Each structure stands twice: as C-alpha cells, then as structure tokens.
Structure 1
C-alpha cells in the first residue's frame, strides 16, 4: 500500500528546506512560550484538542509513517524542554519520538479536551486513533507553549497529506506546499506594521492606555453551578459541540453583510448577548458589570507563509458593559469599530509586547498568572475554514477533502481554559457547516450546563439568521 513520495518531496518525504532544522536547536523560549508554561497547571493544563472525524479505515503503517513525516516538517512539535546556560530552551529529543496510539471501537468519552503534557519528557503533540469499521476518529493534543490553532492545522494538513501520498492512486494524490523551519529562529518577532508611522512614545502611550482599560474593567465570570452533580467525571471533561447547517450559516453570513459588518463581528456580538442573558438567568445579584471576550488574533504576515507549527498570535481583549447588550445594533457597531482597529493596527501584538516587558522581571510572568485569576469572561476563537490553514492541497468529494482512502467528515477543537475563564469556544467552517466546540471548566460547568450554554449561543445565532431571507450570498468567515 505504501508508495514512494512524489510532488517535489525528498527521500524522507518532507519538502525541500532552506536550512537543516537540526542546526536551529537549541532554541531559547520566547515570552509567549514562557507565559504558556507559567499558566500551565495540573487542573488547568495549557493544552488543546483537535478532533477529526474520518470515513474509511486508516491503514496503520501508512498513518504512522505519515505522522513521523509530519513531525519532520514541524520540528518544534518533536522537541523537548530543557535548561541550557541558565535558561529554558527547546532541544531536539534524545528519547523516543511522539507516536500515535491505536484503539479499536468508538472514541472513548473520557479523553478530555485538556491533557497534561510534561514537555521535559514528552513531545508537545500527542495523538490517538479510534477505529471502528469504516469510520475513525483522530485525536491530537497540542501544548500551547509549542503552537497555536493555525500551527495545529498546518500539522494536521501535513499528516493527512503524507497519508494520502502513501495510499491514494496517482490521480487523487494531495500536493504538499513547502515549509521553512528556519523561520522558527525569528518566531516571536511579528511581521506587522502600522498603517501610518508612529513614534515609540505614541506606541507606549497606546499600550499604557489599553493596559489600564483591561486592569480597570474587571470582567464578570460566566455563572454556573459549583461542582456540578448528576454527571460523571468523564462527561464533565468532554468537548461539547453543535453544528449549524449550510442554509442557516448562509443566512447568518448574509445578515452580517446586510448590517455592514463581518460574520466574525456578529458572532462576537451574539456571544455578548448570550453571556449577559445566561448570567441573568443564573440570578446574578448585581446584574450590571463588564463582560470580556478574549479573541485570539493571528499575527502571521507574508514572511510567515512557510512557517511550520509554532505560536504566531496575540490576544485582543474586547470589553463591553452589560448595559450595552440592551441595544444589540449599537453594540454591533462598537464591536465592528474595535475589530477594524485590531486588524488595521495589529493590536493583538500589544498583548505579546506586554508579556515581553513583564518577562524582564524574573518570576513576574508566573506571579502574574497566579495573581490575576480572570482575564476574560469567555474565549472565542474563530479558525474559519481549517483547510485554508493547511500547507497542502487535496482532492475533494463534494466539499469534503480526501486523503487516500479517508474522507474527512469533520474538524473541530477548542482552546484551553484557565481559572476564572470558564468557557473557551472555537468556530470551524468546514464543508459549508459551522461547527462550534466548547471546552468548559468542569468545576463550574458540567456536561449538562455546558450543553445548555452552547445551546443558548446556537439559539441566539439562529435568531439572528432568521431576520433575513434564506437566499443571497454568504461570506466565508
């Protein structure tokens, strides 16, 4: 079943590289990576899960070979954490490489969206395949210190592409696009530029102003039952998902266009409305207060097109008062104005720059993660179409990608949660379906409450979609 690599691949099956990745290591950690390690805890690991639904029976030898080849294209995901010259570094692993674990039957219900990974002894990625008949589930856990959601999608795309190269007939084989591991040497230095020149003084004033807004507007938590009962620990740990069908999504996107906003702006607005209504439902004594959505923002520029899996993102902390939820149209206009500024000025990089400043004081990052227990009410990450993040091109059956004998039916995942931020959601637009995945803090939102909250958000999205005719063009997220 195995075939020799083609499509411009070298003998190892990886794309030609401008520099040997071995020459890059050891790599000193950058501030964002150190922040993720500082925020990593036993009860709240900084890991996230990507789950892929497959139609077809995976060939074990081909998939394991593809996994090894994908790791070679993304060397940070095969590295280990070590201390060198008094500082922590990424180093090439001396021990056994990361491997895929195989199980028969449907995916276990207790796999958990947040799995603890000790980066000193294990690779930043762990994988499992659960196979039953002609269907399978691929589970990939990533440590956020090593890569973000887009980086995870690049690894996933390579894994599927290498598998397709090994198993597909010649006329249905995927094509790999080049990556350049040399780019890892400048990760943490973002290829972002302001639309007009600004002085260092003006930039510093802007950062101080934004930091003060964050510190002075303490957000409310998402309410829920403390230590929920009536559900098993396994159920409490499982990702909760819902999917909007094509017609509903098209109406929703058309409504965003009619309102002069992006679909992402309306998704953010509807999350604010959902959280405000949810907290009122749970009987918050003081109903008025600040709500904040942490929106991860991609900081990849043209220079990063060939970047392998790593972190190239910042955080935009969008804060609004509960009173603003009483006027949804005005709230949407304010959010649209904010997101336009975030895109134009790359404001997500301000969070990373603040980390860089704090990191100059030994121990300050760790202390900050312990003293500040609530950065946001919820996290909302919009990955859009995950296949657009791949560094590979695939044949399709309808609107679903094909990798050899496997058809990819679904792709979704969710960010990690931290103390005080009790819900983290991610949106994936694949095959004209919008899938929303929720990772909830099991101490506050068990399976039933998490499902309830996600249903409330879905109902708000459907209510927005009902305000327009079912015909008309839809905008991709």
Structure 2
C-alpha cells in the first residue's frame, strides 16, 4: 500500500513519545546508543563503502537529522551535511579511556546526527562498527540500512548482479514520507489480543513495575584491582562490546534441545539470565538481592513496515523473578516460556507505549518520573539476529561466511545500550547456525573484565542446561 503524498514538508518532524523517552532518559555517562559490529575476514575499500552509505542514507533521512527543542517539545531537523561518515580512529576514536574499561563516544543530538560508522582494520581482516542513538533507530530498523549499503558495496566491487534477483530488491526504495506513520500501530492493533488484561491486572502490573524495585548487579570483589586490569590488558582489548560465541556444534545442540523442550532460544536466554543473576549476587553481593528484572524489547513491525525507513518500532516488556524462583532451572525455563507467550497474547507491552503517550503530554511530570525510575531493570536482553536474518538471500555463502563483493562477512553482532542501574545489556543472535552473545556494560560500575566474567558464567549455565537436557533425553 503506497504512502499518501503530502504537500506539507516532512521536516521539522516531531519526535514520537518513545523517541522523546530515549532523549530524556539519557545521561552522558550512559549514552542511549547501541553498537552493531560487523566482523570481516578481509579489508574493505573505504571510498567505495562511503559512496554506498551516502546513497543508502538518502532513503533514511532520520539518520541525517539533529534535534531542535521548541518549548517542551523536540523536533527532528534534516541536514544533509550531517549524513554519517565512515570514520577511522584518526578521525574520532572509537573508544576512549583505559583498555580495561573503554568509554564509548556520547552523542550531542543537538549538533550531530545519531548515527556513526567506524572502520577498524585488523591483521586478519577488519571490523565495521555502527553506533546508533536509540532515539533515531533500533537494530531491526538498521537491518535495511546495512543490507542496502552492503549490496551497493558488493555491486561496486565485483558483483554487479548482487541484489537484482532477491525478492526484497524488487520493492521500491523506502519512502521517507512513511516517517510520519512511525507512531501509527493501527495495522498491528487491527486484531484484538488473544487475551485481554483486566483492570486488576493493570493495577497489579503498575504496582509491580513502580514499587517492587529490582536488584542492581554488584561490582565484583577486587573490582579495579591490578590483577584484574592486567588480565584484560594482556588481551590488548579496547572494544565497545564483549562477546561469547558458542561453537556451531554446541549451537545446533542447544537449538535441538530447545525444540525438544518446546521453547525458543530466546526463552532459554532469559531464564539463564535470571539464574546467572542469582549466582552472581551470591558470589559478589553476598546474596542480599531479593528480586531481579529483565527488560525485553518487543518488535512491533508489521508487513507494511518493511518499507519504513530506519526508525524505532519497539516497545518493551518486563519479566521479573524473586531469588527463590531462580533455583529450580526446569521450572524457571518453563515459567519464562509461558510468560513470554502471555506477553504476546495480552500485548501488555503496548501499555508501556500508552503510558509514554500520556506522559509526553505533561513534559515536566515525564522528566520527574524518568529521573525517579532509573533503577527499574537488572538487565536488558534483546534478540539481534534480525541484523543477519535473510542475508543469505542477498549474498552467497562460502565456508561459513558471506561474500559481499570483494569482502567476506564473518559475523554480524550487536548489543543494546546499558544504562544507569542496568550494569549489563545483552544481545543474542544466531548467525548462520552459530549462537552469539554480545554485551555492553555500564562503564561507571563495571569494566570489560567484569563483563567477561559475567558472560562466562552465563554461557556455562547454558551448557549446564544443555547437559541436563541430554541426560534426560538419554
């Protein structure tokens, strides 16, 4: 269905309530900016990559906008001079500060766009980082930006037929006018929920969210000690994300075990996170924590949104457990799987957007609530596999990598931003049969070595669950 044409100029474009929330919720010490990391086993041609990005951003103008405040309202103003450039460390360092706790570059959305690209050459290949402020987009919306950019790069470096036979490429380019509709969920809500929430349900949910504060994960004993710093510096690490990758054999076994247990990998990821919270607090916090909470982004895209320029189409759901509910692993996994189904059936995550829409009408009250509600989530966990989903339709696979013109893509990873009181944020994805876990962390409370410790404990819990399932099945 084509978008209706309008004689009114698209910009200045008012922010949606969710975009406003991301602007107001941000602190400079904890930027509301996610990272996407593309790992290549080959170098890239920078001028060609920049040309491909320039052409792509023309279809995604929100990536070349800055904020303007008028009274209590915020607006996007388009400025072609703000289009993202492919930076190197000589232009702007990817990270600053010590190697054991690299700080990420914050955005000033009133002076610059909320999207940056970095190219980092390596001895065995290269990495392309995308830093994206959550106010102007999300990981799912960036998928089309990456696909278009990489397709143009492939066409310019030896594969002129790339993308010409794919189903997606037959569509017209995203229509910027669709940005007006980015806060319209009428198509999604055209069908009633499978199960309606009662008034009592909503009161109970509000009490749970606002008055039962979750634990903030503790700093490990010896945090910042010389031995910890030496361990991380010995690896020469100064990267914005940390990763744990399961082998393809382990990944296949985990997916099979989840299928046999009638759960999704995402359900397992959330349940194992609760288990790791309790183990972490027993080890580092003395077991004083009472309850934990995970924030799970929910993608609200419909089929029509496939033609929507890069933007936010998310809401959020919150799953909580008391410490005593994190002991019985089988019961924990089952209850999480059931709750995720209930979230989707009741659309409780839409209440979050409804609350933002009401709050944005009273800006001072919204600011007050946000300032008082910074410690509402123990961790964020999202599925970032949409970055690589369907890429095989565009690019040929060779030895577990995707050939993109003269380049070979090994992995596409990402993680949402950590915020104050949320010391770790995780992104789970399955790239070409391999389960990958990426993490960002609150630089004011943790460091890269601490994040590695948490990820190792987390991955070992996955492996323990898999072993238990194998023992049950045998």
Shorter-chain TM-score: what band?
0.7 to 0.9
- Residues 209 and 108 from structure 1, CA distance in 2 versus in 1: closer, same or farther, beyond 3 angstroms? closer
* Structure 1 residue aligned with 2:132: 142
Does the CA contact (< 8 Å) of 1:300 and 1:312 recur in 2? yes
> Is 2:77 aligned against 1:81?
no
Determine the C-alpha separation between the residues in 1 that align with 2:393 and 2:113.
23
* Structure 1 residue aligned with 2:340: 339
| Matched position secondary structure for 1:467 | helix
Paired residues for 1:232-247 under 5 Å: 238-247=240-249
* Structure 1 residue aligned with 2:372: 371
Does the CA contact (< 8 Å) of 2:82 and 2:113 recur in 1? no
RMSD: 3.1
| Matched position secondary structure for 1:309 | coil
- Residues 210 and 194 from structure 1, CA distance in 2 versus in 1: closer, same or farther, beyond 3 angstroms? farther
Does the CA contact (< 8 Å) of 1:158 and 1:390 recur in 2? no
Paired residues for 1:91-130 under 5 Å: 91-93=77-79, 95-102=81-88, 110=96, 112=102, 114-130=104-120
* Structure 2 residue aligned with 1:210: 205
1:141-182: CA deviation from partner (whole Å, max 9, x where unpaired): 101000011112222222111111222334555653542322
Determine the C-alpha separation between the residues in 2 that align with 1:180 and 1:57.
33
Aligned-residue offset at 1:235: 5.7
Does the CA contact (< 8 Å) of 1:19 and 1:181 recur in 2? no
Aligned-residue offset at 1:197: 6.6
| Matched position secondary structure for 1:65 | helix
- Residues 77 and 94 from structure 1, CA distance in 2 versus in 1: closer, same or farther, beyond 3 angstroms? closer
Paired residues for 1:249-328 under 5 Å: 249-284=251-286, 286-287=288-289, 289-328=290-329
> Is 2:127 aligned against 1:131?
no
Does the CA contact (< 8 Å) of 1:236 and 1:445 recur in 2? no
Determine the C-alpha separation between the residues in 2 that align with 1:134 and 1:140.
20
Aligned-residue offset at 1:114: 3.7
| Matched position secondary structure for 1:466 | helix
Does the CA contact (< 8 Å) of 1:113 and 1:414 recur in 2? no
Does the CA contact (< 8 Å) of 2:384 and 2:413 recur in 1? no
- Of stretches 222-231 and 438-447 in structure 1, the one that deviates more from structure 2 is 222-231
Q: Tell me the TM-score normalized by structure 2.
A: 0.86
* Structure 2 residue aligned with 1:29: 15
Does the CA contact (< 8 Å) of 1:221 and 1:422 recur in 2? yes
Determine the C-alpha separation between the residues in 1 that align with 2:349 and 2:259.
24
Determine the C-alpha separation between the residues in 2 that align with 1:295 and 1:370.
21
* Structure 2 residue aligned with 1:189: 184
1:186-213: CA deviation from partner (whole Å, max 9, x where unpaired): 112224238647999x676644332222
Determine the C-alpha separation between the residues in 2 that align with 1:100 and 1:403.
18
1:360-412: CA deviation from partner (whole Å, max 9, x where unpaired): 21222222221112111111111235222779822322443222111111111
Aligned residues: 452
* Structure 1 residue aligned with 2:158: 168
Aligned pair partner of 2:217 in 205, 219, 222: 222
Does the CA contact (< 8 Å) of 1:381 and 1:427 recur in 2? yes
Does the CA contact (< 8 Å) of 1:113 and 1:239 recur in 2? no
Aligned-residue offset at 1:318: 0.2
- Residues 389 and 25 from structure 1, CA distance in 2 versus in 1: closer, same or farther, beyond 3 angstroms? farther
| Matched position secondary structure for 1:228 | coil
| Matched position secondary structure for 1:305 | helix
- Residues 46 and 444 from structure 1, CA distance in 2 versus in 1: closer, same or farther, beyond 3 angstroms? same
- Residues 113 and 193 from structure 1, CA distance in 2 versus in 1: closer, same or farther, beyond 3 angstroms? farther
Aligned pair partner of 1:72 in 45, 53, 58: 58
Determine the C-alpha separation between the residues in 2 that align with 1:235 and 1:49.
16
Does the CA contact (< 8 Å) of 1:154 and 1:391 recur in 2? no
- Residues 389 and 47 from structure 1, CA distance in 2 versus in 1: closer, same or farther, beyond 3 angstroms? farther
| Matched position secondary structure for 1:368 | helix
Does the CA contact (< 8 Å) of 2:384 and 2:415 recur in 1? no
- Return 5+ residue gaps in structure 2 as ranges: none
Does the CA contact (< 8 Å) of 1:47 and 1:141 recur in 2? yes
- Residues 171 and 306 from structure 1, CA distance in 2 versus in 1: closer, same or farther, beyond 3 angstroms? closer
* Structure 1 residue aligned with 2:395: 394
Determine the C-alpha separation between the residues in 2 that align with 1:36 and 1:90.
14
| Matched position secondary structure for 1:388 | coil
